[in-house]
Structure 1
Amino acid sequence: MAALAACTPESTVPSPVAANAASGEASASTAPPTAVATDLAPAGGGEQETPSASAAPPSTAPSSSAPSSAVVPQHSLTDPTSPWVIVNKHRPLSPQDFVPADLVQPNIRLAVSGEAALVISTTAAAAEKLFSAAATEGVIMTLASGYRSYSTQVATYGGYVASTGQAAADRASARPGHSEHQTGWSFDIADGGGACSFQPCFAEQPAAVWAKANAHKFGFVVRYPWMFHDTTGYFYESWHLRYIGVEAATDMASRGIATLEEYFGLEAAPDYL
């Protein structure tokens, strides 16, 4: 499949290299943006573009009602312990081998073990509420991939390079130090029945549909939304949720803002610099 993917699971890596999972950590409450941050990048944003048919399921492009001015953040956009840290193809983690200090295993249904079953404590607490709320409405989710260490990403990305070359690898796997999974603020979900995991058709599964409509109530956004790969660098990943806090996530949803890059007035990052 020719889609860009930030969260390719180890079972799809076209090499013998195993992509083990890891864990992450976080804290700090998230409030609406009000205070000036000194590390805000120049305002930018990305154009909407329809990816190839194989990259995502048929859908209607979202209409953005976001204001043109950049949102002024209250938390750091560069500190990996910040709930608003932005990690993309232009903004690697610093340090690139960052390891969260508070990795825990959330009390939710797991489809993985080891480091992949971990996230940081703040993310874990929010995930437990999200999974519980979904279950009360008859939607069963599982944690399909959580923390991913720098060394794991080295192995995963290296496997792609060895098998397909660097250009193709950059379309399928994040370079080491550029994966949001390494922060512990994000994780991938799967449907309780296991259907369409890490595939475009997952967008039509109950877990993805429910998360898209409700994740903001628990502080999460779908980090790589449909038709915004020219901004985020990745095609639609309906399974990849990112914690930014309830108030910020709800603010994005109510204002129709699809990406963190747009929300914080950052430049688009479709390719590595």
Structure 2
Amino acid sequence: MRHERGGDVEAEQGPRPEAPSRRAFSRLLMAGSGLALGVVPLAGCSPEPGGLPSPAAGTPPPSAGTVPPSPAAPAEGTTPPSEGTTPAPVPVTPPGSAPSAAAPGVQHSLSDPASPWVVVNKHRPLSPADYVPADLVRPAVRLAVSGEAALLNSTTAAAAERLFAAAAADGVVLTLASGYRSFATQTATYGGYVKTRGQADADTASARPGYSEHQTGWAFDIGDGGGACSFQPCFAEQPAAPWARDNARRFGFVVRYPPTFEGITGYYYEPWHLRYIGVEAATDMANRGIATLEEYFGLEAAPGYL
């Protein structure tokens, strides 16, 4: 969730700056999201990657609106860089291009926060900034949170129930670790980071108010039933993470902040942060090997705020 952080960098090879503390991030996140007590992150996790680059000067934000019908095919034979290395620049389809000929069915808005295809990133704030979903509900899943953090919009909640049930059938226990986050909660969460670590560092770990997917109700963070490595890099090694990575598309979800794509999404790898876009679109993304919503919907990369 990126408290949003960045769970989840395009740059030249070279030394990376010192990384912010994941343990400090976990504490702030639990406080802001109403996490249930007793879920203690484990020590000995992998170190966090370095900081994010500044966006290219003079780059205009993409125009809002619906996705046009003409397709834009991805480059074939492209393989993502190995984890732990600095990725080469990743080409992004020019703004205005369509996601794919196979993004079947009805096309949805990329700017309406009530749309399952809304793209929220460091270049695309919510409008209105204080948006509140009209249909927030509590899904019938295992919760590690209370209050507003246990809520999702009704479409996401129904899909999450199916996702959690399928995981349980495979012997994997998932928990809802953070769901909806209001503008006020995000303001407090982000403000806590700024106060303790400064704005530049806060922007690598938490979304600014009005820039968080959690506020839409379309995204949530999962935890592992054992409670290990919550919101830490080592969560990728817990049973919940690989199961979600391999199966989330069947229920309409994608891992929103994949590894090595920080230069596009603006956030570090977050194996816990799932985003609902619908079964057809999520399956199409997976089948075509497209990792980010920015690439899929033909939007510019958003590594930093404009």
Same fold (TM over 0.5): yes
Q: Which amino acid aligns with 2:165?
A: S
Number of the residue aligned with 2:281: 248
Matched ranges for 1:177-188 at <5 A = 177-188=210-221
Pick aligned residue for 2:243 from 192, 207, 210: 210
The aligned residue for residue 192 of structure 1 is 225
Quickly say closer, same or farther: Cα 1:184–1:38, change in 2 above 3 A. Answer: closer
Please report the TM-score for the alignment, with normalisation by the length of structure 1.
Answer: 0.80
* Contact kept? 1:6, 1:179, Cα under 8 Å: no
| Distance change in 2, residues 1:270/1:67 (3 Å) | closer
Aligned to 1:19: 32
Residue 5 (structure 1) aligns with: 6
| In 2: Cα distance, 1:231 partner to 1:123 partner | 24
Q: Check 1:67–1:182 CA distance in 2 against 1; reply closer, same or farther (3 A cut).
A: closer
Instruction: Summarize the alignment of residues 97-136 of structure 1 with structure 2, pairs less than 5 Å apart.
Output: 97-136=130-169
Q: CA deviation at 1:165?
A: 1.1
CA distance in 1, matches of 2:209, 2:162: 31
What residue identity is the alignment partner of 2:188? Answer: A
What amino acid is aligned across from residue 228 of structure 1 in structure 2?
Answer: F
Aligned to 1:27: none
Q: Is the 8 A contact 1:18 1:155 kept in 2?
A: no
Equivalent residue for 1:89? 122
SS at match of 2:203: helix
- 2:255 maps to 1:222: yes
Contact 2:26 2:230 in 1 (8 A): no
For 2:272, the aligned partner's letter is W
Q: CA deviation at 1:70?
A: 3.8
Give, as a single letter, the amino acid of the residue that structure 2 aligns with 1:137.
D
Give the match's secondary structure for 2:129: coil
CA–CA distance in 1 between the matches of 2:182 and 2:246? 30
Retained in 2: the 8 A contact 1:10–1:18?
Answer: no
Instruction: After TM superposition, give the deviation of residue 13 of structure 1 in Å.
Output: 2.2
Distance 1:187 1:120 in 2: 10
Q: CA deviation at 1:86?
A: 0.2
Within the candidate set 250, 255, 264, 2:297 is matched to: 264
Structure 1: 5+ residue stretches without partners:
23-36, 56-60
Aligned equivalent of 2:47: none
State the shift of 1:20 in Å: 4.0
1: CA distance, partners of 2:183 / 2:81: 31
The runs of 4+ residues in structure 1 deviating greater than 2 Å are 6-14, 37-41, 47-53, 66-70
Q: RMSD of the alignment, in Å? A: 3.1
CA distance in 2, matches of 1:236, 1:244: 19
**CA deviation vs aligned residue, 1:30-72 (integer Å, no higher than 9, x gap):** xxxxxxx94559x9x9x9667768x9xxxxx8xx9x9996416
Count matched residues: 243
Distance in 2 (alpha carbons) for counterparts of 1:232 and 1:49: 15
1:66-113 C-alpha deviation (Å, 9 max, x unpaired): 999641671000000000000000000000000011100000000111
- Alpha-carbon distance, 1:163 to partner: 1.1
Cα distance in 1 for residues equivalent to 2:205 and 2:305: 13
CA contact (8 A) 2:108 2:117 kept: yes
SS at match of 2:241: helix
Larger-gyration structure (1/2): 2
